[in-house]
């Protein structure tokens, strides 16, 4: 059975929980207490020298990075329909969207979330936060354009992208970001998907 090293407050870990539930793959959770810095000590640091969760364990094989884990599992199993189509340009467009999700939404989102949740306001790096807001705003406008004629971001079905976005969409209120109307509807669709509800409420 798969083992997932994870932390209940980690949005990157949540992505893999959502995926495993969505694909009905049995797994066991191994909690890593980030608050006790367990991730910076042995044995975890030997598993992932970057000291970050999630990490998947599959019979002696260890893999970190949420997106790489989901891709590995998706390639290992043959699901129908697969997230990655056999058509090369469709796959390339999905990869493009994955990279944009990470760099233009989740990363700047983490900057805002971390500051607002853990740093006193007088210590905020306001320029960095303003830049993050701007990048997220531009990204959401681009998503709005796609969602004007689609219910989901890729091939018009709940998939890899929604799994990557979901834990971050769930934190949108704390980031004080206003979603454009079609993105708001998509947000509701994504956050009401069964696997998302189960993983985020766990």
Q: With respect to ligand GSH, which residue has the nearer C-beta, 21 or 163? A: 163
Among 5, 11, 22, 47, binds ligand GSH (CB under 6 A): 11
Report how many residues bind ligand GSH under the rule CB under 6 A.
12
Dist CA 93 CA 125 (whole Å): 34
Our finding on whether 39 is near ligand GSH (CB under 6 A) is yes
Our finding on whether 172 is near ligand GSH (CB under 6 A) is no
Our finding on whether 160 is near ligand GSH (CB under 6 A) is no
Is the bond preceding 53 in cis, omega lying within 30 degrees of 0?
A: no
Our finding on whether 104 is near ligand GSH (CB under 6 A) is no
Our finding on whether 66 is near ligand GSH (CB under 6 A) is yes
Dist CA 74 CA 122 (whole Å): 44
Dist CA 169 CA 101 (whole Å): 12
Which of 134, 112, 108, 132 is CA-nearest to residue 121? 112
Shortest Cβ 10–ligand GSH spacing (Å) = 3
Shortest Cβ 56–ligand GSH spacing (Å) = 10
Q: With respect to ligand GSH, which residue has the nearer C-beta, 16 or 177? A: 16
Residues in the chain: 202
Spatial contact of 156 and 94, defined as CB atoms under 8 Å apart: no
Spatial contact of 166 and 18, defined as CB atoms under 8 Å apart: yes
Our finding on whether 29 is near ligand GSH (CB under 6 A) is no
Site of interaction with ligand GSH (CB under 6 A): 10-12, 34, 39, 51-54, 65-67
């Amino acid at each position: 059975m798969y083992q997932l090293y994870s932390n209940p407050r980690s949005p990157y870990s949540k992505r893999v929980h959502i995926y495993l539930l969505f694909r009905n793959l049995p797994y066991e959770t191994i909690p890593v207490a980030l608050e006790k810095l367990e991730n910076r000590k042995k044995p975890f640091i030997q598993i992932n020298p970057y000291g970050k969760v999630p990490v998947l364990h599959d019979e002696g094989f260890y893999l970190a990075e949420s997106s790489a884990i989901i891709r590995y599992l998706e390639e290992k199993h043959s699901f129908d329909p697969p997230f990655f189509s056999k058509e090369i340009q469709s796959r390339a467009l999905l990869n493009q969207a994955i990279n944009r999700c990470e760099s233009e939404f989740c990363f700047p989102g983490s900057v805002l979330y971390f500051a607002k949740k853990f740093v006193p306001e007088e210590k905020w790096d306001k320029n960095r936060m303003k830049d993050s807001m701007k990048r997220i705003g531009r990204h959401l406008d681009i998503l709005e354009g796609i969602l004007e004629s689609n219910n989901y971001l890729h091939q018009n079905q709940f998939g890899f992208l929604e799994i990557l976005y979901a834990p971050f969409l769930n934190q949108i209120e704390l980031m004080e970001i206003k979603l454009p109307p079609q993105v708001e509807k998509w947000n509701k669709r994504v956050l009401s998907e069964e696997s998302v509800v189960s993983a985020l409420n766990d």
